[in-house]
Structure 1
Amino acid sequence: MVEIWAPMLAAMFACMYFGGLRPAEAAGLRQKDCHLPATGWGLLTLEKTRPQSNKRFTDSGQAHDERGLKHRGVKQTRTVPIPPELVAILLQHIASFGVGEDGRLFRTRTGGVISGSAYAKVWQEARTYAFTPDQAASPLAGRPYDLRHAAVSLWLNAGVHAPEAAERAGHGVDVMLRVYAKCIDDQREVANQRILGALAA
């Protein structure tokens, strides 16, 4: 399984970590959504998502309906600046795998949407290679979605203001403050030092 999926999924997982994308947002990412310059930061303009549901509950009768972004209007988009590391990963991914007929970057060999169970299985197997046995047996990074949590936590711990982090992640600020309160609490000493610096200026 890993041999088949891992090369295609590496960039999808990278989108969750470096860009804070939800899995369904990464699954719906198209080439036209990506501004990937040769140097510097890039930009993703998220427009579509491909959430997985029981076929009985989708409009199309398929497991993955194409929908707008979570918590946004049907035609609303969200822009996410992405660091040079992710720009390079996506450029390499497109060079290696091309894109699907609809422009999607991540897909099955037949052009379909990669199922949650497929990428979760690959993630679990990859953890056994990347982690020690004790780490692999722990809840650490237990789900692909945890990559998104790691991204938002990284932003907040790096000093990115909560409204900016919330905008990038597609959260409301109230949700951001509630879900990631521990990250913000940990910033008290950093904040104190910045305030002292500003007062001394």
Structure 2
Amino acid sequence: MAVVADDETFLLSGRQCFSILDWVAEQSRNGLVLRAFLASIALAALRPKEALALRVRDMELADDGSGVLLIHPQRQERRVEETDGAGAVRSVPAGPDLVALLKAEVTRRDLRHDDAIFVLDDGRPLTAPVYQEVWRQARAAVLAAHEIDSPLGRNVSALRDACIAAWLRNGDQTAAHIVTVAECAGMSAARLAERFAHCLRKPTPAEIPWGRLTAALRLPAVPSEPMAAARRP
């Protein structure tokens, strides 16, 4: 059964995400660039518009497989999902798999410093209608019949949701961890906790530090005898 992230979105499993990426890569037209584009959403939790805007100069890809993507704020209406610092450039870590795909795309197309990363094989820009149609085809090819008729992975942004959920589940889920995930995803910690509440582990009663909570709320000591009222002059 799919897991609800909010009222309209179901989370894809890791297997389903990578099956879709593999199917896209096998397409003779634009397969490699579309796989790299979708991987930037699935592995770095980028919004599709952010991925489309990515240029070579926005990537710091090291030889050891580590990397950082610099995501610039998009000119669009602010949404509840966005962070309070929506005007700031944010740094998103890129793992070895994504770094390898991005490096391969730069080499394959001999891209320069200011070039856009995701360009179709004929040189035209990658646009929403193009990737949305490929997504529809990939979803139909990979998912089971009963899943195709459900909200599971209905939009490309489902890859982003799956990535954020994985980041949350594979950590200590401390406040610092949740804030870090929110910063990487470009949204507020409050919105993150609200939308992905099912990914956050609830502590058992035994794990709650009741003693420290009680001590923190304890009132300061007061004299047992009432103080004499001050005399008026």
TM-score range, shorter chain: 0.7 to 0.9
TM-score (norm 2): 0.65
2: distance between equivalents of 1:84 and 1:138? 33
Deviations 1:131-179 (A, max 9, x none): 2333333322111111111111111111252100000000011111111
Q: Residue 70 of structure 1: CA displacement? A: 9.4
Q: Secondary structure at the match of 1:29?
A: coil
Deviations 1:16-61 (A, max 9, x none): 010000000000011111111122421111126487x9xxxxxxxx
Is the contact made by 2:29 and 2:121 (CA closer than 8 Å) also made in structure 1? no
TM-score (norm 1): 0.74
- Amino acid corresponding to residue 33 of structure 2 in structure 1: M
Give yes or no for the alignment of 1:188 onto 2:190.
no
CA radius of gyration, larger in: 2
Is the contact made by 1:34 and 1:45 (CA closer than 8 Å) also made in structure 2? yes
Give the 5 Å matches for 1:19-98: 19-47=44-72, 49=74, 72-73=86-87, 76-98=88-110
Q: Secondary structure at the match of 2:62?
A: coil
Q: Secondary structure at the match of 2:29?
A: helix
> Which of these residues, 151, 172, 178, is aligned with residue 194 of structure 2?
178
> Which of these residues, 100, 118, 126, is aligned with residue 106 of structure 1?
118
Give yes or no for the alignment of 1:116 onto 2:128.
yes
Deviations 1:83-136 (A, max 9, x none): 111111111122223337841101235644322121111011112232233333
1: distance between equivalents of 2:113 and 2:202? 49
> Which of these residues, 157, 162, 184, is aligned with residue 150 of structure 1?
162
Q: Secondary structure at the match of 1:4?
A: coil
1: distance between equivalents of 2:122 and 2:84? 27
2: distance between equivalents of 1:8 and 1:188? 40
Is the contact made by 2:67 and 2:95 (CA closer than 8 Å) also made in structure 1? yes
Q: Mean alpha-carbon deviation: is it higher for 125-134 or for 150-159?
A: 125-134
Is the contact made by 2:168 and 2:181 (CA closer than 8 Å) also made in structure 1? yes
Query: Percent of aligned pairs with the same residue?
Result: 28
Size of the aligned set, in residue pairs, is 175
- Amino acid corresponding to residue 158 of structure 2 in structure 1: D
2: distance between equivalents of 1:36 and 1:172? 27
Return 5+ residue gaps in structure 1 as ranges. 54-68, 196-201
Change (3 A) 1:101 1:108: farther
Change (3 A) 1:108 1:147: same
What RMSD over aligned residues (CA atoms) do the two structures have, in Å? Answer: 3.1
Is the contact made by 1:5 and 1:122 (CA closer than 8 Å) also made in structure 2? no
Question: Partner of 2:19 in structure 1?
Answer: none
1: distance between equivalents of 2:59 and 2:84? 19
Q: Residue 71 of structure 1: CA displacement? A: 5.4
Q: Residue 77 of structure 1: CA displacement? A: 0.9
Return 5+ residue gaps in structure 2 as ranges. 1-23, 78-82, 210-233
- Amino acid corresponding to residue 123 of structure 1 in structure 2: W
Q: Which structure features the higher share of helix residues?
A: 1
